[in-house]
Amino acid sequence: MKVDESASVKKWHVIYTKSKWEKKVDGLLLKNGIESWCPVQKKERQWSDRKKIIEEPLFRSYVFVKISKSEHSKVLGIIGVVNFLYFEKKPAIIRDNEIEVIRKYLGLANTAIQVVNLTNLPPQTKVSINQGLFMGQKGEVIRSSKKTVFVQLQSINMMMIVEFKVEEVSLH
């Protein structure tokens, strides 16, 4: 009898959560023994009487989970989880290196990532990053100014917007 080893291999997936439930769902997943990650970044918010630094989820209504196929139903049973994100009619799989790039970038001081949905933006010029954390990465410039390049994460149909100096980018 042949054992299906692919059923036990853990891969990163994206799940949809109820609106504003990202951090709650992440906590519930971890409490239930499921490896998850809700990337957050610090933002300053102004109230009428004070300013406050808050941690805001990077991807609205998304949480990453590293699971095997056999754990899919366990994830869907968590309160606040709506469904898996699908890409080409299959649950979207995020490469480990994409998760690590986001983690490293969020770990740098004074960094900010803006997330934009790709579905409304046409592809343009292919570039390579020559310096810094993203060195060796290739991407498509969706739009650029003197110092901004949009780096695409293709597997979730989203992109990170990262500011680069012009000399850090070259044509691919």
Summarised one tens digit per residue, pLDDT across range 74-114 is: 999 999 999 998 877 888 899 998 899 888 888 877 667 76
Q: Verify that 138 and 57 share a domain, yes or no.
A: no
The more confident residue out of 50 and 15 is 15
Domain that residue 147 falls in: 114-171
Give the count of beta carbons closer than 10 Å to the beta carbon of residue 20: 11
pLDDT at 161: 64
Q: Is residue 103 part of a domain?
A: no
Side chain identity at residue 53, one-letter code? I
- Inside any domain, residue 15: yes
109 lies in some domain: no
Question: Quick check: pTM over 0.75?
Answer: no
DSSP state string for 17-61: ESTT-HHHHHHHHHHTT-EEE--EEEEEEE-SS-EEEEEEESSTT
Count: domains in the chain: 2
φ, ψ for residue 151 (rounded to 5)? -100, 125
The pLDDT of residue 121 is above 50: no
pLDDT digits (tens, 9 = 90+) for 21-71: 999 999 999 999 999 999 998 888 888 888 888 888 988 899 999 999 999
* pLDDT score recorded for residue 52: 87
Give the CATH number of the domain where residue 88 resides: 3.30.70.940
Per-residue exposure over 35-47, b if at least 16 CB sit within 10 Å of its own CB, e if not: ebbbbbbeeeeee
Query: 42, 65, 94: which is the final residue of a domain?
Result: 94
Same domain for 83 and 146, yes or no, is no
Answer yes or no: do 150 and 90 share one domain: no
What's the start-to-end Cα distance of the chain, in Å?
Answer: 48
pLDDT-based confidence at residue 17 (cuts at 50, 70, 90):
very high
- Distance, in Å, from the CA atom of 135 to the CA atom of 144, rounded to the nearest integer, reads 18
Report pLDDT digits (tens) over 139-155. Answer: 766 666 555 566 564 54
Size of the chain in residues: 172
Where among 41, 64, 94 does a domain terminate?
Answer: 94
Instruction: Tell me the Cα Rg of the chain.
Output: 18
Give the mean pLDDT of the chain: 79
Are 59 and 88 within one domain?
yes
Residue 166's pLDDT is 60
Element containing residue 139 per DSSP (H, E): strand 138-141
Q: What's the CATH number where 119 sits?
A: 2.30.30.30
| Predicted local confidence at residue 144, as pLDDT | 64
